[in-house]
Structure 1
Amino acid sequence: MVLQSDLIGDAVLGVLSDPRRLRSVRRLLGGPVPDEAFDRVAMLVHKLVDAPMCVVCLVDEDRQSLAGQVGVPDPLASAREMPLTHSFSRHVVVAGEMLAVSDVRDDPRMRDNPMIRQIGAIAYAGAPITDPDGLIVGTLCAIDLEPRVWTPSEIALLSELAEVCSSEVCLRIARTAEEEARRAAESAHQQLELLAELTESLAATMDVDEAMRRLGDIVTAALADWCVVAVADDPGGPAHVSAAHRDPERAADMARLAEVAAGSGADLRAMLQAVRRGRRTVRTADGAADLGSRISDAELAEVTTRAGFGAALIVPVISPVRHRALGAILLVNRLDRRAFTGAEEWTAAEVGRRAGLAVENSRLYREQRHVAEVLQRSLLTELPAIPGIDLHARYLPAQDGAAVGGDWYDAFVQPDGSVMVAVGDVSGHDIEAAATMGQLRNLVRGDAYGRDEEPGALLSALDQALDGLRVSASATAVLARVRRSWSGYAVGFANAGHPPPLLLLPDGTVQVWWVPPEPLLGLPPREPRTTTHRYVPAGSTLVLYTDGLVEDREQLLDDGIGRLCTVLRDHAGRPGDELCDRLVEVAPRRSDDIALLLVRLT
């Protein structure tokens, strides 16, 4: 059976615990102590009402603060607060109106108050102090040490001065609310800046380890003193673990922490995996007690203690694609710093989501590169073995984007024993460029095989085929026919807007085969293309390549060709594969594909 007294008690607690009222009280409690303004009001009541004790009090959920006072004995006067059980003013908050009691010993609500015995309080009169919403946050009260009948003028005076206190309270709450809003806006701006910086930084790399390292650096600069990140692409796969600390002197500790945490039996990794499985945030006020106590590994415990294991927060790293947890992030503050706020917890959870997006982007990028590279390799020719002619080739995809593009090389033997070699470059480095490249290469092969025409005539026929078949292509190419001659080799070649072939002679000199420029492939056919003939001594090396090997935005094309000539001269005696490697090494940062074909004429 529910007693009426229980219902009354619940109602009292409900009034005192009203969140809106408590918000106003706590905004005021952050003010100065003692408070000169409220002390002056208490002194005014003391003089005008002639009461030995006068107090401006603020009533919290479990205590009462003496914002202003006169006549209150120590230790209460020094402490400026008392438990709520010692408060007469709480009854004003509950009643919602002024209370004037001649003898509190006769009042059922007040007769058991410990203040009767401790300070001799007998008579009490308290007027409510209200916040901007009219909620009672405290009282202006007078206390006498003997029974007293409070006169109407005294009650009116208390009420008027309580209104003065209410005006001051409203002004202070408004200022505090404005400052809170400013700080909240500033904090929100900082958190958004952090997330924007994190997003930009993670988007700039497709390497998971580098992405998690960047995440750690950004998070420890703005959100936590140190952190540990553990993510895995696959549920049973190896975890990528990294750690970072705000203090650069802790870098060695963090590197060791990541190494130990990556071990299969590490306690810290087990904690992160538990959060990963539960897909929920774990927040503790004291990491040393709540999380640190679970670390049994002695070295791990030592490192985390040196780092400072205070308030901790663990958030899952969630995949937005597969909708499952990929790992977790442990954020830790030192012991002397406060616990994480709700706003910081939200930001940390958002960091986890963006980390998940970065991991998924990396995975999808690797899968795309793998598929594209397989496609590209399938489109490239397997070089034939030809007696007296040694062929070597390289294909390198652009460093940006999918590992597929429009660069290609080819070599095949004609029925008459001559050898056709070609290098070309279809504009673009994507799947569409690769598909066009495959068509173009097959057209070159199909049109040239078994025919004795010069390379210029073959490229002219290719122009007609591309136009007649409506193949949308814009490409450069060099097509050459190599024949044996009595003194070495005869090379006839045609150049459709492509970088010039290079010839490394047996004596180490290098020729650059510049010819008058001719249009790219794929343009409407005009004048017949020309063929240039050169006679090459045995022991020479013909080098065909695409522009990705020589083009640099900050230099002329001639400078890139000059670099290749220098490498050819410096490494003339190297084996073909090694010479290919040396040529590729001097390429600028690859924003384009590279195709390279070496034809050694022995």
Structure 2
Amino acid sequence: MPHWSVATTDLPLPTVPCPGADPELERFGRLAAGHLGAPVALVSVLTDTEQLILGAVGLPPDLEAARRLPLTHALCLEVVRREEAVVVPDARDDPALAAHGAVTDLDVVAYVGCPLRDDEGKVVGALCAIDTAARAWTDEQVAYLADLAAACTSELRLRGERERARRTQRVATEAHRHGRLLLTMAEAFTAATTVAEVTRAVSRVAAIGLGATMSGVALLDADGHGLTYTSMDAFDGHGVEALRHAALTDDRPVAHVARTRVPLYFRDHTALVRRFPGMAGIDAGRDRPLPDGGRAVLPLVSRGRLLGVLTLGWPVPRDFRQENREVKAALAGYTAQALERALLLDQRRDVARTLQDAMLTALPQPDRFRLAASYLPAAQEDQVGGDWYDGLVLPDGDLVAVVGDVTGHDMDAAARMGQLRSTLRAFAWDRPDGAPSSWLARLDRADAGLGMGTVASALVARCAPLGTAADGTPGGTPGGVRVTWSNAGHPAPVLVRPGAGGRLLDPGSDLLLGVDPARDRRDHATDLRPGDTLLLYTDGLVERRDVALPHALERLAREAGRLADREPDRLVRELTAALVDGRPADDVAVLAVRVQAPDRR
């Protein structure tokens, strides 16, 4: 049997094997060659530029390795063009084929090929038998080859279906992974309320979801002229500080992305340095080089405003396909939104703290008294609430101590609290000869008459050294103090006496402010000795859902008595820590007034 061989060494055969070569299709070649008695049989499909040989029998070594032929040497192109079987007993006698490359260069003489069709019936290749000698192909041989070609077509279609199914599965898997990653991103950033929490969430998502071992968030400086990294996770080592800040005019990836708002992707660090040569000098200052892996530098933009730049790094080179870039863009989008929220909350917290500081002014420290206070808000976002404390020295030297509680735990409650607090201070200063009940009554009427409409509890106490009180009562304990108070629906004060513990001063309370300004209000009085402490507080210190109020008040008195010898500032601090476990459910304000012994000099 003659052997097919390449007749010229000028034929440009590729050295890369055909990626579609399949042992299963070799079987069709063997069946065709065996039944037709041909030395060569091929299962081939055409591309726009070449013939791919998927199954073959009888190829010479060079073609066996390449499994590709240029279209100039592809006789199956005639089958594709004609869309029917091509039968050639002797190509040398066929004017249309005598000069064909397969005839002149590959010694093809006799040829018979039947069409292979795709799912739409289009002819894409041929199953053919080849001989290097002239021969007459019988009708039975052509019919057999046509049947075999039909079976081969079915196999190719089945393989196509399988490949489409695999592609669909890959797309579905990638979509599922993409969806889970987006969900992970959303969940990771939901609870982030500070810039530090956002950068930690970025690092976690980048590591778990994207495999990035390095991440850094650079925020735009307040002047808009530079960027400063707030986090540089894994960008460690001596010399890393040189990377922390960048001017927008620098020839660095982070500055370029900030200027253009267009992301940059680098297969490896070498490519990055090739694009930005100035980075080589910064790298030279490090005690150990960065890994030569992939880099992504992404703008952080929210509602058209540039907030900063996100840098991600991988330990090995990385090719960024389009779907990968979309995931990185999604991470940058989530990061930008979370950063904008965190920055706004930071600004709000700054405003709230300024507001609270303005309302909770420094306490006076007159000679006969030592005052200390503690304030703990329930609203962690604003750090303000409706509870307040106050201390005021009247023109005659008496001390006024106040605690109050406006409904709410936000900036609105704090604003309404400020109105009541300032109004009460003005009434007490304007009528220094008045009793606490008169000041609260005037405040209640003003609350209604001025349209403030605020419901609040408050307790006002006036502390006067005995013999100089407003009612002129003389005598009493040497160095003692007469305390007169009025209670508008507020928790009762506690008297803390060294050696005697703490006890509740609870003769009852009157109606809340803002309910019925016509109702009468009462005053109550008791005497304090030097060393005694009057403790005023808001209900957040004692009220618990799982503890009955009488039990909570008993514990308050007991804990306050245990701390009777503490200095006032330590007393309020340790008492709050003992009764409030972690973040309070309600605002907490505590005010301690310690009676000092008179100066005998």
TM-score computed with the length of structure 2 as normaliser: 0.78
Change (3 A) 1:340 1:517: farther
Q: How many residues align?
A: 553
The equivalent position to 1:601 in structure 2, one of 586, 595, 598, is 595
Shifted more, 202-211 versus 89-98: the winner is 89-98
Q: 2:151: which partner in 1? A: 164
Q: 2:9: which partner in 1? A: none
Take 1:114 and 1:567, find their aligned partners in 2: how far apart are those partners? 106
The equivalent position to 1:236 in structure 2, one of 213, 216, 225, is 225
Q: 1:270: which partner in 2? A: 252
Q: How far has the Cα of 1:73 moved from its partner?
A: 3.8
The equivalent position to 1:342 in structure 2, one of 322, 329, 337, is 322
CA contact (8 A) 1:92 1:128 kept: no
Q: How far has the Cα of 1:357 moved from its partner?
A: 1.3
1:40-439 equivalence runs, <5 A: 40-60=27-47, 65-74=52-61, 76-77=63-64, 79=65, 81-82=67-68, 84=70, 88=74, 91=77, 95=81, 97-98=83-84, 100=86, 102=88, 113=101, 117=105, 120-147=107-134, 154-155=141-142, 157-234=144-221, 235-237=224-226, 239-243=228-232, 254-256=235-237, 259-260=240-241, 262-264=243-245, 270-284=252-266, 286-291=267-272, 296=280, 297-298=283-284, 302-305=288-291, 309-310=292-293, 312-324=294-306, 326-332=308-314, 334-335=316-317, 339-398=319-378, 400-439=380-419
Q: 1:543: which partner in 2? A: 535
Q: How far has the Cα of 1:492 moved from its partner?
A: 2.4
Q: How far has the Cα of 1:420 moved from its partner?
A: 1.9
Change (3 A) 1:526 1:241: closer
CA contact (8 A) 2:216 2:311 kept: yes
Higher helix share: 1
CA contact (8 A) 1:329 1:352 kept: no
Take 2:290 and 2:298, find their aligned partners in 1: how far apart are those partners? 20
Q: How far has the Cα of 1:158 moved from its partner?
A: 4.0
Give CA deviations for 1:545-567 in whole Å, capped at 9, x if unaligned: 33445556676665598479647
CA contact (8 A) 2:385 2:414 kept: yes
CA contact (8 A) 1:89 1:139 kept: no
Name structure 2 gaps, 5 residues minimum: 1-17, 467-475, 597-601
Q: Is residue 2:28 matched to residue 1:34?
A: no
Give CA deviations for 1:47-104 in whole Å, capped at 9, x if unaligned: 3333222222344566654433333343544x47336468616735973734737466
Take 1:170 and 1:505, find their aligned partners in 2: how far apart are those partners? 96
In structure 2, the residue corresponding to 1:511 is in which secondary structure?
strand
Take 1:492 and 1:125, find their aligned partners in 2: how far apart are those partners? 119
Q: How far has the Cα of 1:404 moved from its partner?
A: 3.1
Change (3 A) 1:567 1:483: closer
CA contact (8 A) 1:276 1:328 kept: no
Q: Is residue 2:424 matched to residue 1:444?
A: yes
Name structure 1 gaps, 5 residues minimum: 1-28, 245-252
Q: Is residue 2:459 matched to residue 1:478?
A: yes
Change (3 A) 1:87 1:370: farther
In structure 1, the residue corresponding to 2:402 is in which secondary structure?
strand
Change (3 A) 1:512 1:186: farther
The equivalent position to 1:533 in structure 2, one of 518, 525, 532, is 525
Q: 1:572: which partner in 2? A: 565
In structure 1, the residue corresponding to 2:59 is in which secondary structure?
coil
Q: 1:489: which partner in 2? A: 481
Change (3 A) 1:216 1:269: farther
In structure 1, the residue corresponding to 2:303 is in which secondary structure?
coil
Q: 2:472: which partner in 1? A: none
Change (3 A) 1:111 1:585: farther
Q: Which amino acid aligns with 2:402?
A: A
CA contact (8 A) 1:504 1:572 kept: no
Q: How far has the Cα of 1:290 moved from its partner?
A: 1.7
Q: Which amino acid aligns with 2:459?
A: V
In structure 1, the residue corresponding to 2:457 is in which secondary structure?
strand
Q: Which amino acid aligns with 1:403?
A: Q
Take 2:197 and 2:428, find their aligned partners in 1: how far apart are those partners? 48
In structure 2, the residue corresponding to 1:291 is in which secondary structure?
helix
Q: Which amino acid aligns with 2:23?
A: D
Give CA deviations for 1:289-331 in whole Å, capped at 9, x if unaligned: 42366653247594533xxx44x25142322134336112324
What is the RMSD computed on CA atoms of the aligned residues?
4.0
Q: Quick one: percent identity of the two aligned structures?
A: 31
1:495-506 equivalence runs, <5 A: 495-506=487-498
CA contact (8 A) 2:501 2:557 kept: no
Give the number of the structure whose alpha-carbon radius of gyration is greater: 2
Take 2:558 and 2:107, find their aligned partners in 1: how far apart are those partners? 105
Change (3 A) 1:212 1:126: farther
Change (3 A) 1:47 1:445: same
Change (3 A) 1:326 1:556: farther
Q: 1:8: which partner in 2? A: none
Change (3 A) 1:374 1:356: same
In structure 2, the residue corresponding to 1:498 is in which secondary structure?
coil
Q: Which amino acid aligns with 1:162?
A: A
Q: How far has the Cα of 1:426 moved from its partner?
A: 1.3
Q: 1:250: which partner in 2? A: none
